[in-house]
Amino acid sequence: MKLINKFKIIADKVNELSQKQLLIIAGLVSIIFAGFLYMYIYSINNNVQNTSKVSMVAVVTAKIDIPRDTIINNNMLTITNVPKNLLPANPVTDINEVVGKIVKVSVMAGDIITVPKLYSDNNLASFVGKIPNDCRAISISIDDVTGVAGFAKPGDYVDVIVVTNKPEMKSEIILQDVLLLGINKTSIAASNVKKATDKAEKQVDEANQKMSTATLAIKPYDALRLRTAASRGSLSLMLRPLEASNEFVADTQYSEYIAPENKITNNNPPPAPVNNAVPARNYDSVAQNISDNGKSITVIRGETKSKVEVR
């Protein structure tokens, strides 16, 4: 009610004003509103002018998605103007500096090509360049079963199992978290490089239809263990997930005793069982002892003995 009364008071006072006074008040309100509108438009113009003053830089960007370890050509690149304050470190500004280089990582369309994304030497992208500095490459024999049916690809990580059967059946995890460099003649360096012709692709596919070797990156000491284990039994690979939980240790093993191989054949029957039972004592047996003179014998009946003369 108080608020309504206040509005009534204001309305009464406005009604008391003359027409000239009302025009003056309306003009003042219009001037104030025009001032605020001018300041708003002026601030927008200043922002536009400041934006136009930002320097633009022409840099090399990817026109299409470029897979890792791909040799770059002109058709993959374009020049794009990018604000200087939005540029990453070490951008490439000349396409000729990029053509023929190999990218270390996958580049999405529209990404700015930078120096760290490229190999400084294309030899580093070769098979030798993929071997870690503290490791060596070594190959082992595999097949569809021991090679995880072809699901293990270059760049994956695997565990290595050895299975032996002498003197007893035993399986053991001898290596864990091992980088798989290649299967047959397909390596990390070659798996993502775009093939030059359809014929080359066909040859690679035919070579990989049947797995025969797996090349691993392991430390020299582990290479000695692996080669020794290969001479003792058969090797198998276990493909690790992306985020494996290390539930096993390198000495984890399972063994099963195997009986000796001296089997019984029809030509060599088993020996007859030996009867070690003690024969019952016969107290009614007669033992004849001939005396020195030969005229008497000793007769034993039960536990009594007697001599009988012989005529």
Domain CATH number, residue 98: 3.90.1210.10
Burial group, residue 148, by CB count within 10 angstroms (0-12, 13-18, 19+) = buried
Tokens encoding 209: 């239809």
CA distance 212 to 228: 19
Which of 263, 259, 256 lies closest to 164 in space, CA to CA?
Answer: 256
Which of 143, 139, 111, 113 lies closest to 127 in space, CA to CA?
Answer: 139
Is 138 found in the same domain as 61?
A: no
Is 162 found in the same domain as 222?
A: yes
Looking at the domain assignment, is residue 103 inside a domain? Answer: yes
Looking at the domain assignment, is residue 174 inside a domain? Answer: yes
Alpha-carbon distance values, 225 to 137, 148, 279 (Å):
14, 22, 63
Helix or strand holding residue 60 (H, E): strand 56-62
Looking at the domain assignment, is residue 28 inside a domain? Answer: no
Tokens encoding 128: 């030798």
β 234-239/253-256 pair status: unpaired
Is 84 found in the same domain as 116?
A: yes
Alpha-carbon distance values, 201 to 195, 197, 246 (Å):
6, 7, 37
Amino acid at site 127: F
Which of 136, 64, 76, 132 lies closest to 100 in space, CA to CA?
Answer: 76
Give the domain-ending residue among 79, 102, 125: 125
Give the domain-ending residue among 104, 125, 146: 125
Give the domain-ending residue among 125, 146, 173: 125
- Per residue of the chain (311 residues), give pLDDT as tens: 667 777 677 777 777 777 777 788 788 888 998 888 888 888 887 776 666 567 888 999 999 999 988 889 999 999 999 888 888 899 999 999 999 998 988 899 999 999 999 988 877 777 787 888 899 999 999 888 888 888 888 889 999 999 988 778 888 899 999 999 988 877 665 555 444 334 444 544 554 456 688 999 999 999 999 999 888 899 999 999 888 776 555 455 555 555 555 444 445 555 555 555 545 544 444 444 444 455 667 767 666 777 767 66
Is 136 found in the same domain as 120?
A: no
Residues 6+ apart with CB under 8 A from 74: 95, 99
CB-side neighbour CA atoms (13 Å) of 232: 19
Looking at the domain assignment, is residue 229 inside a domain? Answer: yes
Is 109 found in the same domain as 80?
A: yes
CA distance 238 to 226: 15
Looking at the domain assignment, is residue 120 inside a domain? Answer: yes
Predicted local distance difference test score (pLDDT) of residue 253: 58
CA distance 231 to 40: 84
- Can you give the pTM of this predicted structure? 0.48
Is 80 found in the same domain as 174?
A: no
Alpha-carbon distance values, 293 to 298, 305, 310 (Å):
13, 19, 11
Predicted local distance difference test score (pLDDT) of residue 188: 63
CA distance 216 to 178: 7
Looking at the domain assignment, is residue 67 inside a domain? Answer: yes
Structural domains in the chain (count)? 2
CB-side neighbour CA atoms (13 Å) of 187: 18
Alpha-carbon distance values, 89 to 78, 84, 86, 107, 113 (Å):
19, 11, 10, 16, 10
Enclosing domain of residue 229: 131-187+210-242+252-256
CA distance 101 to 96: 10
Predicted local distance difference test score (pLDDT) of residue 13: 73
Tokens encoding 181: 């460099």
Looking at the domain assignment, is residue 302 inside a domain? Answer: no
CA distance 114 to 123: 19
Looking at the domain assignment, is residue 247 inside a domain? Answer: no
